[in-house]
Structure 1
Amino acid sequence: MTEYTIVLDRLDVAMRLGIHPHEAAPQRVRLSVRMTVAYPAPVSGDRIEEVLDYDFVRAGVLAMAEGPGFALQESLCDAVAALCLSDPRVREVRVGSMKLDVYPDARVGCEVVRASSSPRT
């Protein structure tokens, strides 16, 4: 078994996220995803078919951004983590979200770590 860390970093999207009236309109949110992925052996053929294609994560996040939104950053992070863990090769995922424009002097965010609950062979 060989493990790799796949990273999707600093993906900026405009989405509805928050509980306050001024957050009803989409706001800038930055997402970062780190997935620990297990393969049966080291990559040998230099072909995308051998590995996890991170396009599905990006596409899924963009679809979430187009949706109804989330009240909590925790809910957003959990939804992205569940998306990542839908691929059985993902053993663990770390998802961070950051609201970029809430305060003039700081950013506010959340991070979650989730592991797969299914046994790996």
Structure 2
Amino acid sequence: MTARFTTVLEGLEVTMGLGIHPEELAAPQRVIVSVRMEVVYPTPPSEDRIDAVLDYDFVRSGVHALIAGRHFHLQETLCEAIAALCLADSRVERVTVRTSKPDIYPDAAVGCEIIRAR
């Protein structure tokens, strides 16, 4: 009997180069990243050990590695890169990635959300 879980990394705040406008190209900005991974295991984890499940640390450290020293022009390409990172683990069947730039407008955040599956 397979077991399905949703593993979530919610509200990861990073400072990174993202955007196409002159002010976005000139300086890093705050970006909020959220990831939901639908993970499938052959059986429900029977032991209370991290090596029995997907450790979400790899997503957090992977996002930090993706953005280090790189400027993304589009939130769409950032989302795609994060989705590919998650789907590299064969247990992840589906991933939802959302990014948001909360400081572009004084009254609204702007973002992108994608869903990718095997």
TM-score interval for Structure 1 and Structure 2 normalised by the shorter chain = over 0.9
Alignment root-mean-square deviation, CA: 0.7
Provide structure 2 residue ranges, at least 5 long, that are not aligned to the other structure.
Answer: none
Letter aligned with residue 11 of structure 2:
R
Runs (4+) of structure 1 exceeding 6 A deviation are: none
Are residue 73 (structure 1) and residue 84 (structure 2) matched?
A: no
Structure 1 residue 65, shift from structure 2 partner: 2.5
Are residue 9 (structure 1) and residue 10 (structure 2) matched?
A: yes
Equivalent residues in 2 for 1:98-113, closer than 5 Å: 98-113=100-115
Letter aligned with residue 92 of structure 1:
R
Give the TM-score, by structure 2 length: 0.96
Equivalent residues in 2 for 1:1-121, closer than 5 Å: 1-24=2-25, 25-116=27-118
Provide structure 1 residue ranges, at least 5 long, that are not aligned to the other structure.
Answer: 117-121
| Greater strand share, structure number | 2
Q: What do residues 2-46 of structure 1 show as CA deviations (whole Å, max 9, x unaligned)? A: 100000000000000001110021100000000000000011111
For these two proteins, the number of residue pairs brought into alignment is 116
| Identity level (%) | 60
Letter aligned with residue 15 of structure 1:
M
